[in-house]
Every structure is written in structure tokens, then in C-alpha cells.
Homo-oligomer: A and B are copies of this chain.
Amino acid sequence: LIGRRRVVVIGAGFAGLECTKVLAGTEVDVTIVDRNNFHTFSALLYQVATAELAPGDVGFPVRGLFHRAPNVGVRRGTVRGVDWDGRRVLFDDGEDLPFDVLVVAAGATTNWFGVEGAAEHAFPLYGMGDAMHLRNRILSAFEAADADPASVGDGHLTMTVVGGGPTGVEMAGALVELFAVEEKDFPDLDVSAARVVLLEARDSLLGSFSGKARQHALDELRARGVDVRLDTAVARVDHDGVTLRSGECIPSRTVIWCAGTEASPLATTLGLPTGKGGRVEVGPDLRVPGWPDVFAVGDLAAIADGGDGFLPQLAPVAQQAGRFAGREILRSLRGEAPRRFHYRDLGTMATIGRRAAAADLRFGIRLTGTLGWLAWLVLHLWRILGVRNRAAVLLTWAWNYVTWDRGNRLIVAATDPRPSTD
């Protein structure tokens, strides 16, 4: 008697979730594993950090997705390794999980690029906890300045965003809009002293976008008051601010790190072969070369782009790769030969703020301004998981747009006054 094939998917991000959805209702047993009990719609984390959306708007309970799929299990846990001989995933709570096929979709982590002091003093924006912590920090900076206005001069209200990719551009634009709300909140404070500095080491923002999009982002951010500095590399981050490679210091108590990611250290922990950025260079069928039953997908994987580079670490790549891996598992069960993964590029977009966004779509369609912004809104609403979250986000966006308000500007964290009792 041969049992059903057991698939374990590590990570409930875009890649792991799509893979599991393909396998739901099929003849394999799947367990999806994540540290959190929810999927994070990470494209909107910067809106949590800037009090535009609530954490619950961009987090979706994973178990809820699979209530009707009896072949899918969910395990909240932190993977500490894999027993390859015994074919078991090992958790840090001592438990384990057997598998026949493993899909590693553990994502990425912040890449500090070795910049001195960055890991200690800059704020990352990769997970929900990061976004909530950053929100508390940004809002607290205004509270502290209001309590002691004399402190405003030395960078308390200067927020420096490092990295001019989509996340950095969106973060900088959202901060400026938050400042407009803070101006109403703090009538006694000179909020015009609050500044956003956006640092980009290369010669343009949104490096991977079209020329039109890059120019639009630069023009719009500058028009909205962001101090955008191109060709500007960071040498050091400390308690007081950022020191540039030119030697210039920018006093700034809040430094937000949007400079890039590197693959989750789990790839190395598992002993998988890794390349640039710690990513696992997979074959054209997304299997790890030499490991026929192991797939790597999402930000953790490096997938050749057909030329001499790799596909970017974007949500659509992760989703398509996840779906492909799921289908590939089913194909191999039926004895079919492996196929090649082809990425279908649907375009990229980044929003700058109210009625300003840059969207490079298919067929050479380049939208900016209001049209780009509407395209961005519709696409993001459509991509958010679940009717409830979609309705909540739509309601909040409409409210914020009409009232220029940010109802989610609560400084709040779970408090535990007592020692852990677990």
C-alpha cells in the first residue's frame, strides 16, 4: 500500500500560497508552513507603516483560505532545518513534518549591504511587524516633537528613505501625505519642518521602469516636497542620522531601509546551493538542480530570465512560479516530463500618492498621473485576498481620499507586563 504523496510548502507568501492553491483539492496531501498565521499582502505594507491601512487590512488568515480543502493542512511554525535522510521538516518547537516533495518559498529578508550601523539603526519594511513598528515610530516622532518643540531642529522630524525602487518611492510619497494629516493633528508644531529625504545610489528612481515612469516619479516626488538625491550612496547609519559616502551628514532619527532584500537564510540552513544574494539558482522547471523533489520559488529563488540575468524579486514572479511548481508536482505524479517555466510579464507599477502613479503595462502602455493611479488602485484591490479585506481597503481608501484623514494613526502594540508563561 502506497500512501498519498506528501507535499510541504515552506512559506505562505505569494509563491507558497499560489502553489498550495493549485494543490488544494487534488490527490496529494499538502501542508503549508509559515511563521505567521496570516498571509501578508506585502505590496501595501508601506500603507500600514504610514497609517493609511490597518494591519488586518493587508493580513489574511491562511487557514481561512483552505477551509474547504481537506487535503490542505496549515502549520504555524518556524522551520529550523530539514532532515534530508529522514525527509522531514524540523521545527524549532521540536516537532517535525514528513514530506515527499518540498517547496521552499521562505522569501527574503532585508539586505543591509554591509552598511555600518544600518541593521542597528535603520527600520526595515519586509514584514507586518516591521510595518507596525515603523508606524509607531513615525507617529511617535511627531508626539515627541510636540512635547519638546526645541528638539525639532536635530533630525527628529526628518525621515530618510534609503533606496529609490518601488518600495522607497511609495514610502516617500506616502510619508509626505501623512505629514499633511499631522499638520492638522499638531497645530502648535511647525510640521513644515518635517522632511522626507529619498536616497538612491543610482542615477534614477525606479531603475527597472520606463524612462517616462522614472521621470514622473522624480518630478512628482520633488513637487510634493521630497528631497530626492540621486547618485547618493549611504556610508553609515547611526542614532543621529545618515552619513553619505560624500561625507555629508543628514540628521535623521528615522531611517527607513528600502534598499533591497537578500534571500532568507533558510536556503543556506537547508544546505541548498545558493548564488548571488543568497538565492537558490533553480533549473528551468524550478527544481533545485540535483534535488528532484525540491522546488524553490519566490524571493528565495533565482530564476534565469532567458538572457544572462535572473527574474526580479516581484510578487507576480513569485505567484506565477508558485502556480507552476504546484502544476509541476501534479504533472510528475502523472508521470509527465518536466516543463519549462515562462514568466508572463504583466508590467510593474508604483504609486507616488494622490492621483500620481507610474504604471508600465503590456504592449508598451505607459500610464502616469491620474490614469496610472487608477490603474494601480484597481489592480491592487483586485489582487488583495478575500472579499472582506477588499471591502475594508476600499472603504478606507475612499474615506482617506475624501477626508484627507488617516483613521489608523494609532500608536499601539500588544503589551505583556508579565514574564512569558509558555
Q: Which residues of B contact A146 (CB under 8 A)?
A: 75-76
Q: Which residues of B contact A63 (CB under 8 A)?
A: 184-186
Q: Which residues of B contact A270 (CB under 8 A)?
A: none
- Least CB distance from A123 to B in Å reads 9
Q: A132-B412, A185-B61 are in contact. Are A418 and B121 (CB under 8 A)?
A: yes
Query: A395 within 8 Å of B by Cβ?
Result: yes
Q: Which residues of B contact A386 (CB under 8 A)?
A: 407
Over the window 92-116 of chain A, the binary record of Cβ atoms lying under 8 Å from chain B Cβ atoms (1 yes, 0 no) is: 0101000000000000000000000
Contact A411 B133 (CB under 8 A): no
Q: Which residues of B contact A67 (CB under 8 A)?
A: 184-185
Query: A119 within 8 Å of B by Cβ?
Result: yes
Query: A413 within 8 Å of B by Cβ?
Result: yes
Query: A56 within 8 Å of B by Cβ?
Result: yes
Q: Given A61-B407, A127-B415, A144-B422, 18 more contacts at CB 8 Å?
A: A38-B411, A56-B56, A60-B407, A64-B185, A74-B185, A75-B147, A76-B143, A77-B147, A91-B147, A93-B144, A119-B418, A128-B410, A132-B413, A132-B415, A133-B414, A389-B407, A413-B413, A414-B414
Q: Which residues of B contact A38 (CB under 8 A)?
A: 410-412
Over the window 56-92 of chain A, the binary record of Cβ atoms lying under 8 Å from chain B Cβ atoms (1 yes, 0 no) is: 1001110110010010011111000000000000010
Query: A399 within 8 Å of B by Cβ?
Result: yes
Q: Which residues of B contact A421 (CB under 8 A)?
A: 120-121, 239, 253
Query: A55 within 8 Å of B by Cβ?
Result: yes
Contact A412 B129 (CB under 8 A): yes
Q: By DSSP majority rule, is chain A's interface helix, strand, loop, or mixed?
A: mixed
Query: A408 within 8 Å of B by Cβ?
Result: yes
Which A396-422 residues have a C-beta within 8 angstroms of B?
A: 396, 399, 403, 405, 407-419, 421-422
Query: Could you list some 15 contacts between A and B, CB below 8 A?
Result: A56-B408, A61-B407, A61-B410, A63-B184, A64-B405, A70-B187, A73-B188, A75-B146, A75-B147, A91-B147, A388-B399, A388-B403, A392-B392, A413-B413, A413-B414
A408 nearest in chain B by CB position: B56
Q: Which residues of B contact A59 (CB under 8 A)?
A: 410, 412
- Least CB distance from A47 to B in Å reads 13
Bound-complex Cα distance A184 to B63 (A): 8
Query: A136 within 8 Å of B by Cβ?
Result: yes
Bound-complex Cα distance A413 to B77 (A): 16
Contact A143 B37 (CB under 8 A): yes
- Least CB distance from A135 to B in Å reads 8
Contact A37 B418 (CB under 8 A): no
Contact B55 A412 (CB under 8 A): yes
Over the window 34-64 of chain A, the binary record of Cβ atoms lying under 8 Å from chain B Cβ atoms (1 yes, 0 no) is: 0011100000000000000011100111011
Q: Which residues of B contact A135 (CB under 8 A)?
A: 414
Query: A391 within 8 Å of B by Cβ?
Result: yes
